[in-house]
Amino acid sequence: MTTNWNRKDQHIHFAEMQYQSNSSNGLDQVRFVHQSFAEMKTSDVNLQTSLGSLNLDYPFFINAMTGGSDKAKIINQNLASIAKETNLAMAVGSVSAAIKSPELADSFKIVRQVNPKGIIISNLGAHHQLDNAKRAVDMLEANAIQLHVNTPQELVMPEGDRDFNGWLANIEDIVNHIDVPVIVKEVGFGMSKESIQQLLDIGVSIIDVSGRGGTNFIHIENERRDLKEFDYLLNWGQTTAESLLEAHFYRKQADFIASGGIKHPLHILAAFGLGAKAVGLSGELLHLVLTKGNDTTIKTIESWKQELVALMTMIGAKRITDVERKPLVLSPELSHWCHERHINFKHQ
């Protein structure tokens, strides 16, 4: 087991090592039906969206990645600078390391220092209770908090948790007693309709389904094991597309975020077509920052904004919420998933 460097740095290293240009998030299996007449101008497109009371100027954002080491501080500083220049919201990685070891707090606080007026989302595991959630928000003067759920990662992680009692009770307490929006986020294993119902039952109204197809934390934690004995679990979980289909019945009861293997604006559009109101980007932006630098990453983000405007014009959608009403066709694989899971996927 690799133990001679910080676990957070190991995560960064293995996340970049497993980066792949070809995604398996299922969104390539969603096809819009081309229509010849858009009957609109590109200037008619409005990219604004909302997640509960959180208003975003753009419907994609920098999702949770890192923090808790010197290297992570540099990456967070770069990401915060990019978020400021592009006016994107930004989530940080889990701040639990800074709660345990306050000397690591600067690797997270740097985000607010660099981007004092931006939308910053703090992040904490669902095993934490209300007091720590308040500390996580205060640490960053955060506009919202993500509570991540990651049972498979913890079980494969050599030093991970083994007791998963009380997560729902913690989430409910935080939702009821914290003053900022609460986002419950998977970490790349996707969401089921049963899990979504459990979250709705305790008052959660913003859910990041975070499906399989992006950074794979079973793979990362398995690489940290001596025997790497969990290779057979590398395809565990629902893809991003499958997770959004699981959420289909509930899309009027909660706001859904899609993340997991988003590689280009057509993936973003497909996520909107399946009912997402925003999209989180992690692995793609991490790869750009590490290999191309800030300027290229900023140029890419600005290009994606314009490409998304073009795509929405092409299907005649003026707003993000218009996209899910446009006709699309699912692959046989996704249609089979809907059949087996009794999901009646229809546009309403």
Q: Is 344 annotated as a binding residue?
A: no
Is 154 within any annotated ligand binding site? yes
Distance of CA 149 to the CA centre of its chain: 12
User: Measuring CA to CA, how many Å separate 127 from each of 130, 148, 164?
Assistant: 10, 9, 7
The CA distance from 66 to 73, in Å, is 8
Measured between alpha carbons, how far is 222 from 228 in angstroms, rounded to an integer? 5
Instruction: Tell me whether residue 7 is annotated as binding.
Output: yes
CA atoms lying within 13 Å on the CB side of residue 329: 5
**Is 210 annotated for ligand binding?**
yes
Q: Is 282 annotated as a binding residue?
A: yes
The reply to whether 64 sits in an annotated binding site is: yes
How far apart are the C-alpha atoms of 182 and 179, rounded to whole Å?
9
Measured between alpha carbons, how far is 134 from 138 in angstroms, rounded to an integer?
6
Q: What is the dihedral of CA 209, 211, 217, 220, to 10 degrees?
A: -150
Amino acid, single-letter form, for residue 75: I
- Is 146 annotated in a binding site? The answer is no
Establish whether 65 is an annotated binding residue.
yes
- Residue 321 burial (CB count, 10 A): 13
DSSP 8-state symbol, 33: P
Query: Does 8 count as an annotated binding residue?
Result: yes
Contact 40, 316 (CB under 8 A): yes
What is the rounded (10 degree) CA torsion for 209, 212, 218, 224? -110
Distance CA 144, CA 119 (A): 8
215 is annotated as contributing to ligand binding: yes
**Residue 4 known to bind ligand:** no
Residues annotated in a binding site: 7-8, 64-66, 94, 123, 153-154, 185, 210, 215, 261-263, 282-283
Residues annotated in a binding site for Mg(2+): 154
Residues annotated in a binding site for substrate: 7-8, 153
